[in-house]
Structure 1
Amino acid sequence: MGSMNGLCYGDVMRGFGNLLQRIEDDGELTALLADAFEFDVRRKTTDGSARLASGIPIEAVAGDFTGGIFYLCGTSASARSVLYASSEGDAGIIAADLDEALGLVVGFPYWRDCLKYSAGGDLRTMESTTGFLYRDLLTNRPAVGAEQSRVAEALGLTLEPPLILTARLHEAVESTGPDFVLSDDTGEYGSLFGPFLPSRNQSWR
């Protein structure tokens, strides 16, 4: 195998595996990721009918409380982007790899609501929504900073400011092309970008 940025293919693949293994081997970390950040490696059972339009293989690696599933796409280390499929029939790429996806869910736990109130994928609207959501996060979970630090230290994550994560999330979802359209036995999934403006939430007015 050739090398990629100084790392051989096998090393990179082991890195992805080790990241998940570190979570699964640490019961406290597993519980914290599930409770505080809705990334639960114990919730990855599916009916097996989910598939991408391109036929690229997908692997369920975690789920959330609402029934959403996080998938790794592809089989090569350089192409294992992360796709999220909601229980409401929406799906799309949310990160270039698992490390970036964990940085998102830990750094900005309310990222799903940011997409919901995105006015169909408008970045400025998402940035406005992020301000409201981050305020709500600090109010609803005062200890989130310590919890983020615990996970980041355990997994070697770099935590970025919420607005950086919002821009990165917008770019990832927007990049979801025809090859990554998800379907299952219920039909084809729609976009993760929701239609709402922040003004729809009365508490943000």
Structure 2
Amino acid sequence: MQSLITAIQEHADVSCYLAWPGDFELDRGDHGEEVHLASGAALEGFAGDGAGGRYFFCGDGGEERPVLYADSEGGAALVAIGLPELLRLLLVAPWWRDCRAFTAEESAELAAEYLEGMPDLPVRQGRAAAALGIDRPTETDVLARLREVATEAGKDFILIYTPQDESYDR
């Protein structure tokens, strides 16, 4: 079975969608700061966004590992359990970073903004999902899962800025 990272690299339309509106690029995995998990578990940067945020795999294993997102402002949270879950989030609600309350109403407002500037968004989402072989749950389900992962499972994934031994904000 082909890895999802390889599939992203091999499908230009998927990479293009993930770069925008997903704001997720595999060639931006270097965080630039020395960080570690408070638990001592392994941490591997594998992607980033245009604003300096980074995605990290946590622990040992492959694409099924938990995914932590650290922004450039000192905030970090677990956002998915595995790359497939992260990609579902990016394919359904690429505006997730702006969903502070995780509500359907908030997401609907953000979706409307994205659709205004990108009327072909649903088509692009569908093509990318099909190319990756990933199902797309509802926005409500994706945001509920994000909230669950960030607040429950994520409490054990504390990112530390190593030089000052300070934790990122959750």
Structure 2 counterpart of 1:97, one-letter code: G
Aligned length: 167
Superimposed CA distance per residue, residues 62-112 of structure 1 (whole angstroms, 9 cap, x where no aligned partner): 111111111111113596111111111111111111000000011101000
Instruction: Give unmatched runs, 5+ long, in structure 1.
Output: 1-13, 192-205
- Cross-structure match for 2:86: 101
Question: What TM-score, normalized by structure 1, do the two folds share?
Answer: 0.75
Structure 1 counterpart of 2:27, one-letter code: R
- Give the Cα–Cα distance (whole angstroms) in 1 for the partners of residues 157 and 51 of structure 2: 22
- Please, which of 107, 110, 114 is the counterpart of residue 130 of structure 1? 107
Which deviates further from its counterpart, 104-113 or 19-28? Answer: 19-28
**Pair 1:159-2:144 in alignment:** no
- Cross-structure match for 2:160: 183
CA contact (8 A) 1:39 1:64 kept: yes
Instruction: Give unmatched runs, 5+ long, in structure 2.
Output: none
Superimposed CA distance per residue, residues 23-73 of structure 1 (whole angstroms, 9 cap, x where no aligned partner): 123344323311221111111122361210001111111111111111111
- Cross-structure match for 1:63: 48
- Cross-structure match for 2:98: 113
Classify the secondary structure of the residue corresponding to 2:25.
Answer: coil
Which deviates further from its counterpart, 74-83 or 181-190? Answer: 74-83
- Cross-structure match for 2:14: 29
- Please, which of 170, 173, 180 is the counterpart of residue 150 of structure 2? 173
Structure 2 counterpart of 1:26, one-letter code: H
- Please, which of 99, 111, 117 is the counterpart of residue 140 of structure 1? 117
Specify whether residues 156 and 79 from structure 1 end up closer, same or farther in structure 2 by C-alpha distance, changes over 3 A only. closer
Superimposed CA distance per residue, residues 88-143 of structure 1 (whole angstroms, 9 cap, x where no aligned partner): 1111111111000000011101000002xx2xxxx5xx333112112222212111
Identity %: 32
**Pair 1:52-2:37 in alignment:** yes
Question: What TM-score, normalized by structure 2, do the two folds share?
Answer: 0.89
Which protein shows a greater Rg?
1
- Give the Cα–Cα distance (whole angstroms) in 2 for the partners of residues 110 and 67 of structure 1: 16
- Give the Cα–Cα distance (whole angstroms) in 1 for the partners of residues 87 and 46 of structure 2: 12
- Cross-structure match for 2:4: 19
Measure how far apart 1:160 and its partner are. Answer: 1.3
Which deviates further from its counterpart, 104-113 or 23-32? Answer: 23-32
Structure 1 counterpart of 2:167, one-letter code: E
